[in-house]
Structure 1
Amino acid sequence: MISVRVNGQRFQVRAASIVIHDGHVLLHRAADDDYWSLPGGRVEIGEAASATVVREMKEELGEAVTCGPLVHVVENFFDIKGEPNHEIGFYFQVALSEGSPLVDKARSYSGLESDLRLMFQWHALLDLGSIDLRPAFLRNTLSTIPLVFSHVVHPGADDV
């Protein structure tokens, strides 16, 4: 995976899945986290970011997906447990396979990444403003249908 520590800061390349179905988006979080994010993971060296989202959905949920268009390129700056992070993110529109059992919005789904338990859940696009979704710019951009390509620096350069 493309993740290195340089001068006390972690740099990584991540690919994320934007799965929208019937006015809802599929989000996930680690069992002990209090915030939500788009499913995805770190890009492997030599792997296209579009292949990462397909691999991650298969590994974490056992779901075969189709990777669609690139929607966002994100330069994301944030801290996790006091460690500064600089992440380059590629966010793709992703479609579930026809007849996927994951379209049941009344339930949560469990996943696993290495030894980390993950919870997947559908959230109404209209309700995104009321949840802790990271990066936060997604609260607005995900509810703009059709999705529009953008390059995002989050937080903004003046906020870093």
Structure 2
Amino acid sequence: MKPAYLETIALIERLHRQCMELVKTELDRLGVRDLNAVQAMILFNLGDSQLTVGELTQRGYYLGSNVSYNVKKMVENGYLHQERSPHDKRATHLQCSEKGMEICNRLDELFDRHARELANSGVDEGALGTTNDSLQRLEGFWAAARVTGVSSVA
């Protein structure tokens, strides 16, 4: 079991890096130089929603300090609108600007192309569903291990 588990961990890391490279390649193709792949994925995950930084962190599983930095840069570069909550002055609401929505739409088109190409390459929706189920169970195991201390040495 341990070799398969370690292979899964390594594969998750490699897949994440490759996905970010694909997003970066798309940004380069579009001539976007003031946005990195992580920022583009934050925009994509935000989409046409309006969220606080905390909600974005929870929804996207981004590190809090990284989100704050990335939000600041995206506001500066015109990809996000940020405004203080009228009800809680500590919270700020984020929303994609028109420029940010253009990136969302381009990434949506990219992922549509990938889905079609993936289906044509022999990876079907059922296989992805099985993979997703396994990864969700692994995510749950890790979350529980963090809370219960299963990962600590007895």
Question: By the TM > 0.5 criterion, same fold?
Answer: no
Q: Which has the higher helix share?
A: 2
TM-score (norm 1): 0.24
TM-score (norm 2): 0.25
Q: Which has the higher strand share?
A: 1
